[in-house]
Structure 1
Amino acid sequence: MIVDLVQSIGQGEWAQVRQLLLKHWLIQVPQVCPSGELLFSPIVSAFLLDVRNTKSDFGGMNEIARVDPSKIGKSCGHVFKNEEETYTCLDCATDETCVMCLPCFEVSIHKSHKYEMRSSSGSGCCDCGDVEAWLEGYACANHKKKDEEETFTLAPELKKRSEQLIEIILHFALSMLTHNDDLKLPDFFEKLEIESSTDNQQCLTVLYKDETHSYESVSELLR
């Protein structure tokens, strides 16, 4: 399933992506205590386009978005090596000695400004995070303080992938939360062909009493 999911995303077949995720959720969500990895790892794999992913956290998103949470709010201070490339913004640097290293420059607002690239003589350090070095955009996305507005943008491909997947997730969640028919699932599940993996397995049904469903409706649902 993961391989098909990642391949469909890579080919831009979002209708197929939706079908694959709905099939997965239709099987996993009704379980009383579904495994976090089993339930969410396909979503993470879809975001990362990684068929080998087995984790359910989104830490890998920071890497592909070039954001390091551990560096947020701190100065870079990277010491340049001889002949290492440095970048200075001609629009925002307070003087020509104010420079950024490549990782900081790539996720800063200065990438879209007029800038100049130079080779270091093997001295000095990255000025990212130094408020006195820049007229604006003193810190990149990695070193900006948490309470400040982020100014960097995702790569177009990653942005589109995120938007499509979030739309699928929200549509599923809202459809399930607002569904008020006790006797059947939402209509978009009807066209799904689910391969049963529970043959010859014992199943347990657990019912929780609430203030909404009557005894008769629950009995009818279980018949």
Structure 2
Amino acid sequence: MPSRKKTAMFASSFLTCVSSFAMICVVLATQHWVSSEVKFAGTNSTVRVSLTYGLFSGTCEQFVDPGLQVSERTFQVADNLRNTKAKSMITAIIVILVLSLLSSLLSSGFTCTNAVSNPYQTFLGPTGVYTWNSLCGIFILIAMILFPVNTAGNGLSVQLAQGCFSFLQRHTDSKHTYGYSYWIMLPTILLNVASIIIIYFYDHASYSKRKEQERPIENAPKDVILF
């Protein structure tokens, strides 16, 4: 059976891993990644389209100056994208987040196993926790970088607005505000870092204790040597 210290440390790391797993599920399930205001120049007026969307779906509504509003519509992101590059990047972000979800699940399994037992294989110990938490954090960081690149660089909001209202033509301006579904990835990365730090402190303390026990006999006090 593991020591109380090991159980406490790995149990704490397990909680951070489970929290990370839950947050990634929220990121994938919610559709508040970004809110965009996209303006188009019409013949006699300016058309403004307001969108809120995530990786799978979103809502859009149209405003025509001076104040005419078209009812809100729901759309599927994949159906509204005609640009292959933008669609491929959305698919890549989804795949990356699924991989981070699996990494977080494996890390949770490793920390739980170490909290209740002493696995013999080295990789099932701290090394495995370091690996899966690092991969999870890296995957999420990549997703955080790719989404704004896709939004601004590939004109994601413009394409989605044109998919909602096909008559829109000349794009003039866009403004983007990233929502909680996007920013929640930041504390998820911090949870993975926290999990690594917790296990590092345990592993470092355990290593120091083993080295202390392996000191040469000549370093022991003279009165302790009985032979």
- Select the structure that is richer in strand: 2
Instruction: Choose between structure 1 and 2 for higher RCO, CA contacts under 8 A separated by at least 6 residues.
Output: 2
